[in-house]
Amino acid sequence: MPLLTIHHKTEYRYVRPVAFGEHRIMLRPRDGHDLRVLASRLEIAPQPMRLRWIHDVFGNSVAIAVFDERSDTLTFTSSVTVEHNPVEEFALTPDDPAYFYPFLYDSEEFPDLQHFIVPQYSDPNGELAAWARKFLDDEAPTPTFKILSGMTHGIRETFSYRKRHEQGTQHPLDTLQTGSGTCRDYALLMIEALRRLGIAARFVSGYLFLAGDRVNGYLGGGSTHAWVQVYLPSAGWIEFDPTNGIVGSRDLIRVAVARDPRQAIPLHGVYLGAADAFRGMEVNINVVSVDQEVAMAAVAEA
């Protein structure tokens, strides 16, 4: 069970001191059988007048900061150590109720899954629905894993990843028609496509652990990331990452789940001042194993 430490620092800069409105921070990973938070520290400068923690409607940990001080910088520094026991790719057996598609959800579970099954975005000409049906076999039934894996790898292989400077997540039809987008765009496209097949899917925000990258000479790295969870009878919520073609929670550190991407923004808030007061933002993220972090500290002290 590898121990990982996530360092996440976001700094906002302004040309003159400004006041700050309420900020919501979603940076603390979600505990589960595959992920356990061992230590967590959040530092904010200037120090907020009040900081409280809540669980939102999905059970995500959210810190809410209220300020009474003006400043030309606002910095959030999060350090979290987790025990990460990634779940490998799952395999359904012919005895599982969801082995073949179409399948039915249990009548007692369906009311709780309904909001993850009903599409949230328009598809006036049926383009999303038609694209989703491309992953079905010509003759029913289709193995469910074949649909999910095919869609995950299909997005990875046929779409072009591109960074966007616009805030938010683009409409799934824009992602489909342009054949490009960010990880959040890919996740939303897959979610909406699955919902049109009647499969429960939800949005996941978290971190991608880039174990093969080098940071300061040591293996490590990381970035904020987004992917998909799909609910299957007897299997539960399963992770699918269409950006990297990952099935299961390998390399993925889950922070928040939501019905829609707008409900899982890592850091959200406003400043009170002129529009031209904002100078820029810098985000630094590093995910390293605890052993590597100890070795890096020993080198620094030498």
Task: Write the pLDDT tens digit of every residue in 214-247.
Answer: 444 333 457 899 999 999 998 999 999 999 999 9
Q: Under DSSP, is residue 26 helix (H, G, I), strand (E, B) or coil? A: coil
- Establish how many alpha carbons lie within 13 A of residue 93's alpha carbon, considering only the half-sphere containing its beta carbon: 2
Boundaries of CATH 3.10.620.30 in the chain?
100-216+223-263
CATH of 100-216+223-263, one of 2.40.170.20, 3.10.620.30, 3.40.1440.60, 1.10.10.10: 3.10.620.30
Q: Which of 93, 105, 108, 91 is nearest to 148 (CA)?
A: 91
Measure CA of the first residue to CA of the last residue in the chain; give whole Å: 29
Flag the least confident range among 22-26, 234-238, 276-280, 286-290. 286-290
- pLDDT the model gives residue 2: 82
Name the residue with higher pLDDT: 271 or 211.
271
Using CA atoms, how far apart are residues 274 and 122, in angstroms rounded to an integer? Answer: 36
Using CA atoms, how far apart are residues 186 and 179, in angstroms rounded to an integer? Answer: 10
- pLDDT the model gives residue 279: 95
Position 213 pLDDT exceeds 60:
no
Q: Under DSSP, is residue 144 helix (H, G, I), strand (E, B) or coil? A: helix
If pLDDT is split at 50, 70 and 90, which confidence band does 290 have? confident
Position 293 pLDDT exceeds 60:
no
Topology of domain 3-85+265-301 in CATH is Immunoglobulin-like (2.60.40)
pLDDT over 70 for what percent of the chain? 90
- Convert the pLDDT of each residue in 169-196 to its tens digit: 999 999 999 999 999 999 999 999 999 9
Q: Find the DSSP H helices in 165-229.
A: 172-178, 183-195
Using CA atoms, how far apart are residues 297 and 302, in angstroms rounded to an integer? Answer: 9
Boundaries of CATH 2.60.40.2250 in the chain?
3-85+265-301
pLDDT over 90 for what percent of the chain? 79
Q: Which of 25, 108, 98, 113 is nearest to 65 (CA)?
A: 25
- Convert the pLDDT of each residue in 71-92 to its tens digit: 999 999 999 999 998 876 677 8
Reported as type and span, the H/E element at residue 298 is: helix 290-301
CA distances from 253 to 83, 189, 277, 285, 289 (A): 10, 21, 35, 13, 13
Reported as type and span, the H/E element at residue 65 is: strand 61-66
Position 43 pLDDT exceeds 90:
yes
- pLDDT the model gives residue 291: 64
- Name residue 247's beta-bridge partners: 240
If pLDDT is split at 50, 70 and 90, which confidence band does 140 have? confident
- pLDDT the model gives residue 87: 72
Measured at the CA of 205, the angle between CA 47 and CA 99, to 5 degrees, comes to 155
If pLDDT is split at 50, 70 and 90, which confidence band does 163 have? confident
